[in-house]
Amino acid sequence: MCLSPVKGAKLILIFLFLGAVQSNALIVNLTDSKGTCLYAEWEMNFTITYETTNHTNKTRTIAVPDKVTHDGSSCGDDQNSAKIMIQFGFAVSWAVNFTKEASHYSIHDIVLSYNTSDSTAFPDAVAKGVHTVKNPENFTVPLDVIFKCNSVLTYNLTPVVQNYWGIHLQAFVQNGTVSKNEQVCEKDQTVTTVAPIIHTTAPSTTTTLTPTSTPTPTPTVGNYSIRNGNTTCLLATMGLQLNITEEKVPFIFNINPATTNFTGSCQPQSAQLRLNNSQIKYLDFIFAVKNEKRFYLKEVNVYMYLANGSAFNISNNNLSFWDAPLGSSYMCNKEQVLSVSRAFQINTFNLKVQPFNVTKGEYSTAQECSLDDDTILIPIIVGAGLSGLIIVIVIAYLIGRRKTYAGYQTL
């Protein structure tokens, strides 16, 4: 039996951006006695056109706010549909249904309702009351498979335009564990750009990731900062060089901060920095808190395109890099190599990160990496110098004795 929505469902909000419109990513994790029974992670916003009292049309874009409820969400079973229901206060509600078949499940009946009687959300609206828009799309996904779509899915259902992206979704989860088997949407298979998440005004340029045969220059250092409301919650400064081995052919790619977009999120126990550009669909750095005392880089995910047209996709959530006490930053000026997998490494240059407890938008005192720690070199240098001096004295002494013996002859 599925637990009640209040006890069995967990709703986590992550602060992100879509263009100039603030949006929050949603993660819904419904559970039953076996564990997770429905998992969904996605982002969405809606542009609604309505008539005003002065006989003109007004457009209102509504993104997911930082406070929502999810009353009515349920896991479903062989006889009953599963559903997710989200309420944005008084003005807006949204729902999606899932039906289980013998070998697959269907995602259908996506319904958006909005109330133009809310003068704050829809000022000067003529037609007061609740309006409902039903999306006719129907996705079929095999059982024990998670549906993923990072690209933007847009549906123009006059008078509402709906946008969805960053979707990771599995209904009727088997044995309480989200599947590692994926079904990727068609748009992700053909489109080489991600959702329009913009943090930079620099124009985007196309860079071809090709096999390398000559030394690659040191990458430009970029500065990245993530805000939670009006407060900076994550800081990162680093030059990034991606090293990929595809079918024994090495590719090296420097990330250019001027043409790279970034976004992210901050939670009490985790933080995320996501980079993307014309070549990289996403490059995620995910940090975690360890023993309530330290932070570290726990996970790296990348999805990018190579010059031969193939897509490269690697995830590793079992890392342990950049370990430092909470309340401090981590710094490594020298080149550092992060081995994410056998086929993927990240070289960092002039690195400095602080994903938690940022104060006044500035880095705290840094813990330096062992590569930067020169204190151990001092005794080594002194010891080597003394050893060299002793060797010189011994050699001089031996030479001197040989000359002394050579000055006398046996009688």
Tell whether 46 and 167 lie within a shared domain: yes
Question: How far apart, in whole angstroms, are the C-alpha atoms of residue 36 and residue 52?
Answer: 45
Tell me the pLDDT of the chain averaged across its residues: 81
Tell whether 319 and 174 lie within a shared domain: no
Query: What is residue 408's DSSP assignment?
Result: -
146-157 pLDDT tens trace? 999 888 888 888
Mean pLDDT of 179-184: 88
Q: What confidence category does residue 134 fall into, taking pLDDT thresholds of 50, 70 and 90?
A: very high
**Looking at residue 388, what is its pLDDT?**
74
CATH number of the domain at 235, please: 2.40.160.110
Contact status, residue 42 vs residue 54, Cβ threshold 8 Å: no
204-230 pLDDT tens trace? 333 444 444 456 789 999 999 998 888
Contact status, residue 257 vs residue 7, Cβ threshold 8 Å: no
DSSP result, 43-112: EEEEEEEEEBTTS-EEEEEEE--S--B-TT-B---SSS-EEEEEEETTTEEEEEEEEE-SSEEEEEEEEE
Mean pLDDT of 179-193: 71
Domain housing 135:
26-188
Q: What confidence category does residue 164 fall into, taking pLDDT thresholds of 50, 70 and 90?
A: confident
Domains of the chain: total: 2
Tell whether 164 and 59 lie within a shared domain: yes
57 in a structural domain: yes
**Looking at residue 20, what is its pLDDT?**
31
**Looking at residue 9, what is its pLDDT?**
42
Long-range contacts of 211-218 (CB under 8 A, 24+ apart): 211/249, 211/250, 211/251, 211/307, 212/250, 212/251, 212/252, 216/241, 216/252, 216/254, 217/254, 218/254, 218/349
319 in a structural domain: yes
Tell whether 245 and 169 lie within a shared domain: no
DSSP result, 21-42: EEEEEEEEEEEETTEEEEEEEE
17-75 pLDDT tens trace? 333 333 457 888 999 888 999 999 888 888 899 999 988 888 888 877 767 888 899 99
Can you give the length of the chain in residues?
A: 411
Structure tokens at 105: 């499940």
Tell whether 263 and 341 lie within a shared domain: yes
Percent of all residues in the chain with a pLDDT value above 70, rounded to a whole number: 80
pLDDT of 196 strictly over 60: no
In DSSP terms, which residues pair with 272 in a beta bridge? Answer: 265, 286
Closest C-alpha among 338, 335, 324 to residue 371:
335
197 in a structural domain: no
Tell whether 31 and 91 lie within a shared domain: yes
Question: How far apart, in whole angstroms, are the C-alpha atoms of residue 283 and residue 313?
Answer: 10
User: In this structure, how many other beta carbons lie within 10 angstroms of the beta carbon of residue 382?
Assistant: 10
69 in a structural domain: yes
261 in a structural domain: yes
The letter for the amino acid at 353 is: V
Q: What confidence category does residue 403 fall into, taking pLDDT thresholds of 50, 70 and 90?
A: low
Q: What confidence category does residue 4 fall into, taking pLDDT thresholds of 50, 70 and 90?
A: very low
258 in a structural domain: yes
Question: How far apart, in whole angstroms, are the C-alpha atoms of residue 91 and residue 114?
Answer: 5
